[in-house]
Chains A and B, each alone.
Chain A
């Protein structure tokens, strides 16, 4: 039955994803510090690995869960925190992941046409980092609402 290990009601996969996401959030901060230290190559690798790993986690675990548990109930049940938090997390999280992938392509490759590339990276990267942590916070709140009894009641 794949029970979790964090002492909540969550399944094993949800606990793994929570820890992975927290680690990825921390990893992005380390990556940002690498850029401040002018170690741009390591910065690029660090952020790229995290963005691609997050894409895999979203595709393999979050999207199927959202499709099964949330999508059939919205918009009718959006007034309930259970569905509202998950939907907000999904909307902000997917927007952030797309923005992160865009920066990855624009900054780390030459795949995009010239007019779609970014010349000033810093504000974009900082904005995506802030969005990432907001999405992470919403994800944590979603986990708490879904799997921790007697919370928010």
Chain B
């Protein structure tokens, strides 16, 4: 009886411990995942066009297209605005406040995207 209680306690501790460690690990992974996110610009579109990140995350747009593009906030006043990005050039912005940030390419206004910051 005493032995089975001991085994049950050990099993419970192992299960709880691994769950706690696993949870911590996955939380850390999720945090790392949202720290730096990349958006590719290719064939006149942003990919992914919609993105959800946590506050403090940095989003980097990379122009993989063979023509120049820009990344400009649709808000007024503009929250962020890149220079003209030629092929393989990058633009980064760190989102420090929660909210939904719509953006577009000022050269090709039909190219749009949004970043949801939670």
Binding site for B on A (CB under 8 A): 1-4, 9-12, 68-69, 72-73, 77, 80, 82, 145-147, 149-150, 153
Give min CB distance, A39 to chain B, whole Å. 43
The residues in B between 66 and 118 inclusive whose CB is less than 8 angstroms from any CB of A are: 66-68, 74, 84, 86, 104, 106-112
Interface centre among B74, B107, B111 (most CB of A within 10 A): B107
Neighbour of B107 across the interface among A11, A149, A150, A153, CB < 8 A: A11
Q: Judging by beta carbons under 8 Å apart, are A11 and B109 in contact?
A: yes
Chain B residues touching A, majority SS: loop
Binding site for A on B (CB under 8 A): 43-44, 66-68, 74, 84, 86, 104, 106-112
Q: Judging by beta carbons under 8 Å apart, are A147 and B108 in contact?
A: yes
Q: Across the interface, name the chain A residue whose C-beta is closest to B65.
A: A149
Q: Judging by beta carbons under 8 Å apart, are A77 and B110 in contact?
A: no
In the bound assembly, the distance between CA atoms of A150 and B84 in angstroms comes to 20
Neighbour of B109 across the interface among A1, A69, A82, CB < 8 A: A1
Nearest 9 A/B pairs, CB to CB: A9-B108, A1-B109, A149-B44, A3-B109, A82-B67, A11-B109, A9-B110, A1-B104, A9-B44
In the bound assembly, the distance between CA atoms of A61 and B77 in angstroms comes to 23
In the bound assembly, the distance between CA atoms of A67 and B108 in angstroms comes to 17
In the bound assembly, the distance between CA atoms of A4 and B44 in angstroms comes to 15
Q: Judging by beta carbons under 8 Å apart, are A145 and B67 in contact?
A: yes
**Provided the pairs A9-B44, A149-B43, A153-B66 are in contact, do residues A68 and B84 lie with their beta carbons within 8 angstroms?**
yes
Q: Across the interface, name the chain A residue whose C-beta is closest to B102.
A: A1
